[in-house]
Amino acid sequence: MLYHCDHKQLIMNIPAKAHTFAQTVFSLTVAEHGRMALNLQEFIKQELNKNQGKLSPDHANAILSGNANRQLTAWLQLLATDAGLDSGLIDGFWGPQTDFAFNSLLFLHENGALPPFWRDYVPLNLNPNNWPLEKEADLIAFYGQPCNESSLLLIDLPYEHRLAWDLSTKVRRTRCHSKVADSIVRVLDKVKAHYGEDKIKELRLDRFGGCYNPRRKRGGTQWSTHAWGIALDYDPDRNQLQWGRDRAHFAKAEYEPWWSFWEEEGWVSLGRKSNFDWMHVQAAR
């Protein structure tokens, strides 16, 4: 069975509530400042033109000359960014990160503040091992070429893992990049000490989805971080790629220590950072 992760170009449908919200903001702005545009679409165009400098340079022209949905998306990304929410690049594509930022923005609008647990999920921003950025050139400079098996090391896992798709297969060792080997062992030692073997099983922190895997990101030409052996997947069944924190089990409070142990070593959870692919953790920023 194949599980696909770090697939960052997911494009989702714009939810109906995004249109409703846009209309609300437009109406409020008109009420406050008088008539500044004939309709919502024209208003969005004006706002995008005013804020050209904030649009992703690679996408600015396409957004400004694009269709209504792309402009709506870019404008909501802009509003979320201005509100201090991380919606990623302002590219006019509705993906999981935009979706989460939009839902936070909606909450903020309706309640005047974010709920406390929203803020609690802000990941630790530490990088004691100086993991590189997740850009191919940076990854190669730090880790060497992808799919290079001579850079891998076999490590003993501090507690017994099982293959997520075949629980009868026990996993005591795995191959990973030599530069991340010690860090993985330190993290899993802490996990074992904190949770204990029974709790580990209960939380399914032993259901292993793999580490080294010489493959490209799905639908793209870029290498997956798994191709360097610097990413691990856990419990893919209950943390599916497109699931957000409303469904992914690893978003629950009892996994807070699990993520803290990784983040203390500079590892990045795509779930905590961008609210998708909650199975995945990587030694790249």
Question: What is the C-alpha separation between 39 and 68, in angstroms, rounded?
Answer: 12
Q: How far is the CB of 213 from Zn ion (least distance, A)?
A: 8
Question: What is the C-alpha separation between 154 and 129, in angstroms, rounded?
Answer: 20
Tokens of residue 224, six digits: 């997956």
Angle at which helix 16-33 crosses helix 40-50, to 10 degrees, equals 80
217 near Zn ion, rule: CB under 5 A: no
Q: How many residues bind Zn ion (CB under 5 A)?
A: 4
Q: How far is the CB of 3 from Zn ion (least distance, A)?
A: 7
Angle at which helix 16-33 crosses helix 96-111, to 10 degrees, equals 50
235 near Zn ion, rule: CB under 5 A: no
190 near Zn ion, rule: CB under 5 A: no
91 near Zn ion, rule: CB under 5 A: no
211 near Zn ion, rule: CB under 5 A: no
233 near Zn ion, rule: CB under 5 A: yes
108-167 positions binding Zn ion, by CB under 5 A: none
280 near Zn ion, rule: CB under 5 A: yes
Q: How far is the CB of 30 from Zn ion (least distance, A)?
A: 46
Of 212, 207, 260, nearest to 238 by C-alpha is 207
5 near Zn ion, rule: CB under 5 A: yes
Q: Dihedral of CA 177/179/180/185: which sign?
A: positive
206 near Zn ion, rule: CB under 5 A: no
Q: How far is the CB of 279 from Zn ion (least distance, A)?
A: 6
Tally the C-alpha atoms within 13 A of residue 14's C-alpha that lie toward its C-beta: 19
> Of 2-10, 173-181, 241-249, 257-265, which part binds Zn ion (CB under 5 A)?
2-10
Contacting residues for 240 by C-beta, under 8 A, at least 6 apart = 247, 248, 279
For binding to Zn ion (CB under 5 A), which residues are involved? 5, 231, 233, 280
